Chain A
Amino acid sequence: MAGEQCIVVIIDDDPGDAELLRRQLDEIPTLNMDFVHYKDTSEALLELTQRDAYVIFLDYQLGKVTGSDVLGWIRGSGDLRPIIVLTGQGDESIAAELMRSGADDYLVKDDITPTGLRRAIANARAQFLRRRGEEHRRTLLDELEATKVSLEKKNRRLSELYKTAHEFVDNVSHEFRTPLTVIKEFASIVRDGLAGDVTDEQREYLDIVNNRVDDLSIMVDDMLDISKLEAGILGVCRRLCRVDEIVERVRTTLMQKASASKISLDIAVDDDLPAVFCDPEKIGRVMINLVVNSLKFSRESERVELWARQNPAESQIIIGVSDNGPGIAPENVRSIFERFKQVGGDVRSSTKGFGLGLNIAKELVHINFGDIKVESEVGKGSTFSFTVPTADPSAFILRYLDRIKQFQNSPVFASLLTARVDEGQPSFLIEDVGQFLQHEVRPNDLVFHVKPNAWLLVVASNDQDTEVVINRIQRALTETNRNRFDDGLPPIAMSTKGVWRIEGQNTEFVQRFKEECHIVEICNA
């Protein structure tokens, strides 16, 4: 401390004693001190908070009050600075009491030696620093605790809001469907002549009612889908399938919609397209959403075409919808797939939706590891197209690894697991097991049906421990079978083939995957 100016405060009602102490302190060579002496206790207490003090000497005998009282007041105000109490001869019995009240040290006035004085100051300073450190730590801990509590509270609030929002969407969907059911039923009762004769004209009008009820139901479905996509709980059931099979599934719906809009819809699917690996229901939804969008922007007697072509170089199929509608201005092309975006004023106001259709299409294409885009020219029309990976395992797994690396929390490990049931199970149970596995893995994990009674699972996660996944699936199996009275799912034997860190070319993982993955075709009715 040499050289540094330190202020020593002396509180003593006896000026002689104070002067004596000052002289003794002056004899300590290492300290460069300034002294402040308070004869009056209340003045000291008033000013002390505003002044620096390296150390405070406090006389025990202060007339009406004692050093203990003054200590109590100083410490009570939160002042942590070092205090040394000076007692008279024979007052040592009160030393313990003083230390309890917050004194750092005490000295007997008549026995003060330079060494003792120096030791007391050093000791008091050390106590002070320790106390200040503790105080600081306590403040930090308190702040931390407060932050933690507030974060937990916010977190709880967020998950409540989240839950409420989902329940809300769920309820809205339920509440919309009930009146829609009644409208649809009674319109069709009248239409089918169950309430008396109907003319052709009346029948046509009732068909329009029916059609619009269906549109509204689709919008309700859209809302649900968005909400599930957002929560990451939209189930994906990818399997080997054919594009024409998916098209056939949605053909009737599409034709009905086109004819209701008096627009001709051509469906042109190339022959000999290779099989694709995707969730056919979701890809069907994309086709519907894109066709519905094009119909919305086309005028009566115009044409809309749904087509599908090969893109062998990229191991994918391109599916597109082309129209001769008004087209999209270049500045709007970028935002067209955003939620609640409806660009252009040409849309007939009566056919406006929520602007969710294209956004859902994009999300559904992405969860099937494809891409979507639009090419458009104002005044000429638009072509929306998307890709679906073919069922070539080597190309598919490379595409998959590429995609998961781009995730926000990109997984660190890829594991290969097998699931197997006893041979000779009826085909409906095999199908159920496949669906069960698809449902139990997360949307970004893969399930391949590789043998009549076996599946290969690709699980990407931040955890090397595949037991977690296996245990989860086994628990879910028990749970599922509790609800299946007559035809429980057979036991599923699971094992881990290996766990690889996702990095670089992933050569080893890809090699092993190729050896294990020979997709079998599930027979489709």
Chain B
Amino acid sequence: MQDRETKLAQKPKVLIVDDDNEIVRGASIRLRAAGYDVIAAHDGEAGYNAALQHHPDAIILDLRMPVMDGWTMLATLHKHEETKAIPAVVLSANVVDREGGKAMDLGASCFLEKPYEAKRLVKAIEFVMGESAKKRSNQAGSKREMHH
């Protein structure tokens, strides 16, 4: 049930990228109930394009996906100025050695294993959005020196 009293534009926007339609659907129901606006894409390339077009406040993405996998999508997001600051939560069934670590290294803010606890998913989104808001205010406050 949609909360029609809240204006859509005021809701934080979350992009979900997963090739499994039902996972997208389940997570969307959860996030909408928690007060988020949800958009979806089903592969990494579509996900990246959706991020460019809709400027979501956070992205949830899978790792093993067709067309462009999650790692490549993370690296692509990180490479581009318009998308690099969007916090990303990796939601993956890949639990083998450091695959999650590799995703974190590529700029993901948080890694959740499938199957996940619904509460943890919502908490993870709250957490990464909070972190990214902190980062933004820090950056605005102090001029950052570049070392490269």
Contact = CB atoms under 8 A, between A and B. Distances in A.
Interface of A: 170, 173-175, 177-178, 180-186, 188-189, 192, 194-195, 213-214, 217, 221, 224, 228, 233, 235, 480, 483-485
A217 B96 CA distance: 14
Nearest to B93: A177
Given A178-B23, A181-B23, A483-B105, A188 B97 contact: no
Contacts of B97: 228, 233, 235
B54 interface: no
B85 to A, nearest CB: 13
B115 A194 contact: no
Contacts of B116: 181, 184-185
6 contacts: A174-B93, A181-B23, A181-B116, A182-B23, A185-B26, A483-B105
A217 B105 contact: no
B22 interface: yes
Contacts of A480: 105
A185 B29 CA distance: 10
A217 B33 contact: no
Interface in B105-147: 105-107, 113-116, 118
Contacts of A183: 115
Nearest to B84: A485
Contacts of B78: 485
B107 A217 contact: no
Contact of A188 (B20, B93, B113, B118): B118
Task: For the complex of A and B, list the 4 residue pairs with the smallest distance between their C-beta atoms, beginning with the closest.
Answer: A483-B105, A177-B93, A185-B26, A181-B115
A402 B52 CA distance: 60
Contact of B30 (A175, A180, A189, A228): A189
A182 B107 contact: no
A213 B115 contact: yes
Contacts of A221: 95
B94 interface: yes
Chain A at the B interface: SS class: helix
B102 interface: yes
Contacts of A228: 97
Interface in B17-41: 20, 22-23, 26-27, 29-30, 33
Given A173-B95, A224-B96, A485 B114 contact: no
A483 B102 contact: yes
Contacts of A214: 115
Given A182-B22, A182-B23, A194 B29 contact: yes
A485 B128 CA distance: 18
Nearest to B33: A194
Contacts of B102: 483
Contacts of A170: 96
Nearest to B32: A194
A182 B20 contact: yes
Nearest to A485: B107
Nearest to B64: A174
Contacts of A217: 115
A192 B102 CA distance: 34
Nearest to B101: A483
Contacts of B29: 189, 194-195
Nearest to A480: B105
Interface in B55-102: 64, 78, 93-97, 102
A180 B105 contact: no
A280 B22 CA distance: 36
Contacts of B118: 185, 188-189, 192
B107 A180 contact: no
Contacts of A195: 29
Nearest to A484: B105
A184 B117 CA distance: 8
Given A174-B64, A194-B29, A483-B106, 8 more contacts: A177-B93, A178-B93, A178-B114, A180-B114, A181-B116, A185-B26, A213-B115, A224-B95
A189 B93 contact: no
Contacts of B114: 177-178, 180-181
Nearest to B106: A483
Contacts of B26: 181-182, 185-186, 189
B93 A173 contact: yes
A14 B27 CA distance: 106
Contacts of A213: 115
Identify the interface centre among B94, B97, B106: most chain A CB within 10 Å of its CB. B97
B133 to A, nearest CB: 17
B146 to A, nearest CB: 12
Given A174-B64, A178-B114, A180-B115, A185 B96 contact: no
Given A194-B30, A194-B33, A485-B107, A184 B94 contact: no
Q: In this complex, which of A194, A195, A480 has the most chain B Cβ atoms within 10 angstroms of its Cβ?
A: A194
Contacts of A175: 93
